[in-house]
Structure 1
Amino acid sequence: MYAEERQQAIAEVISNRGRVSVADLSTTYGVTTETVRRDLAVLDRLGVVRRVHGGAVPASALTAAEPGVGEREYTRAEQKDAIAAAALAYLPLNGGSAVFDAGTTTGRLAALLGNERELTLITNSIPIAARVAPLTGVSLRVLGGRVRGTTQAAVGEETLSALEWLRVDVAFIGTNALSVGHGLSTPDSDEAAVKRAMVRTANHVVVLSDSSKIGREHLVSFGRLDNIDVLITDDEIDEIDRKSLTDNGIEVVIA
């Protein structure tokens, strides 16, 4: 295989899998780690990948850009629907409490709630609050604060103050990215602070994330892997990523 062919193949692997290590690429293509590092340096200069410690990620993986709710609502919708359906099994028993993070997948879970379930539901998401407000069995608490137009979620000191004194049975958390090295991450620091506080409030943390986010990293980390009890994702997760997560003590549920 010529160097250009190998570099193209490496770029495709990184695009599909997210973060990939130098050692894995060396084994896959039967070349030395020094050769892989040279290939990654070429791809980095071309703007195709970004080199990180021990490997590389897609060029888009470290961007601070953040798509809005409208754009994300229809991205990987089938996988998000399956993840939300699987997450129903992790709702607390009748009379329990849950915090719902803002996001399109957590929003799909909220849309599946019915009048028969008695639940105290706390959220900073305007769309989620609107969805569950008519449900007679749900006692809804909406966290105040400045609402970010991008995510339609309340953030800031008022939101954090409200979360400081809470303890809930389950937190359903969305994320923009998830990796072994950087944990759960998102592009916005205010959003990250609220997500971090939500994780702290919960006895049990369930992360809802489609597989395209696994292996990626964004600017601000808001949780380590040992903060996660369960990850619900879709069946396109790479087996190496799945094993790495389970080795870190996370229950990985394939929807």
Structure 2
Amino acid sequence: MSKPERWSRLLELLAAEGRLDVEDAATALEVSPATIRRDLDELAEQQMLVRTRGGAIAHGVAYELPLRYKSSRHASEKHRIAAAVAELIGEGDVVGLNGGTTTTEVARALALRAGAGGGDGSAGGGRRQSSDPAGPTLTVVTNALNIAGELAVRPQIKIVVTGGVARSQTYELVGPLTAGVMNEVVLDVAVLGVDGVDPHLGVMTHQEDEAGISRLFVERAGRVIVVTDSSKMGRRAFARICGLDRVDVLVTDSGLSSEMAARLTEAGIKVHAV
């Protein structure tokens, strides 16, 4: 197990339990106690936890795992989801991406496709094409700083960043400045990463300010694609983004249960399990 994988696992255990014991963590991760002690010391230096005698505790009750440590979870599923979503985007489309590990993978898949020359636009259903063959083949509007940073060096993609106040946990920009930009744009498709999908309540996320911006992505888009691994299906989170009636497509992995797939289909959502 690599160090990033160990750190991610340790922070997951800490988020679940509120505290860690060196010996218990070593057993759970199948490494030596000395390795766990070094990992906890380094995480404490980054102020990710508080070291105690024999272990560590979280900084507070509302402990949230930062985006950079979530990226290794369900990685293969997210790669497949991202590749499938890229095939649903037409050349010349204006695409909205909120923050998250799955939407980050979607951004990378779109960048790879654009770098390879893009598609023929058939997935976009006849949407507008770029008038300049040497110019951008895709426009991406995002409130995620990490996505903007990765796409800014891609000449085939026009990147529009919303502005706003950055949340350190997720790299997402939120607040009135973000909303001001979102209210001035029109999207062909919004691709949303979420923290929960409930058949009754719809799609949700943990933070209310992020939910408000994601809701604006929905309102400004002609189509809405929700992307999430199957571990979040049936889950609820604190802040509601929108109901299932606003979702056109859901792309997830093959772990989706047949019962949940049927309920989503009944709600009028086209489901892709990859």
Q: TM-score, normalised by structure 2?
A: 0.68
Determine which of 146, 153, 165 is the counterpart of 2:165.
146
The 8 Å contact of residues 66 and 187 in structure 1, kept in 2 or not, is answered as no
Deviation of residue 181 (structure 1)?
1.5
2-side partners of 1:191 and 1:200: how far apart? 14
Determine which of 164, 175, 182 is the counterpart of 2:183.
164
User: Could you say which residue in structure 2 is the equivalent of 1:239?
Assistant: 258
User: Could you say which residue in structure 2 is the equivalent of 1:73?
Assistant: 71
The 8 Å contact of residues 178 and 214 in structure 1, kept in 2 or not, is answered as yes
Higher RCO structure (Cα 8 Å, ≥6 apart):
1
Is 2:123 the partner of 1:104?
Answer: no
User: Could you say which residue in structure 1 is the equivalent of 2:230?
Assistant: 211
The one-letter code of the counterpart of 1:110 is A
CA distance 1:65–1:192, change in 2 (3 Å): farther
CA distance 1:194–1:64, change in 2 (3 Å): farther
2-side partners of 1:164 and 1:92: how far apart? 23
Q: How many aligned positions are there?
A: 192
2-side partners of 1:75 and 1:164: how far apart? 33
* SS across alignment from 1:204: strand
User: Could you say which residue in structure 2 is the equivalent of 1:135?
Assistant: 154
CA distance 1:64–1:187, change in 2 (3 Å): farther
The one-letter code of the counterpart of 1:124 is N
User: Could you say which residue in structure 2 is the equivalent of 1:36?
Assistant: none
Structure 2: runs of 5+ lacking an equivalent: 1-60, 119-136
CA distance 1:119–1:68, change in 2 (3 Å): same
- Summarize deviations over 1:183-205 as a string: whole Å, max 9, x none: 11111110000000011110010
User: Could you say which residue in structure 1 is the equivalent of 2:7?
Assistant: none
* SS across alignment from 1:90: coil
Runs of 4+ with deviation above 3 angstroms = 63-66
Deviation of residue 67 (structure 1)?
2.2
1-side partners of 2:80 and 2:180: how far apart? 34
User: Could you say which residue in structure 2 is the equivalent of 1:19?
Assistant: none
Structure 1: runs of 5+ lacking an equivalent: 1-62
State the identity as a percent: 32
The one-letter code of the counterpart of 2:159 is L
Deviation of residue 65 (structure 1)?
5.2
- Summarize deviations over 1:25-58 as a string: whole Å, max 9, x none: xxxxxxxxxxxxxxxxxxxxxxxxxxxxxxxxxx
2-side partners of 1:65 and 1:86: how far apart? 32
Q: TM-score, normalised by structure 1?
A: 0.73
Q: CA RMSD in A?
A: 1.3
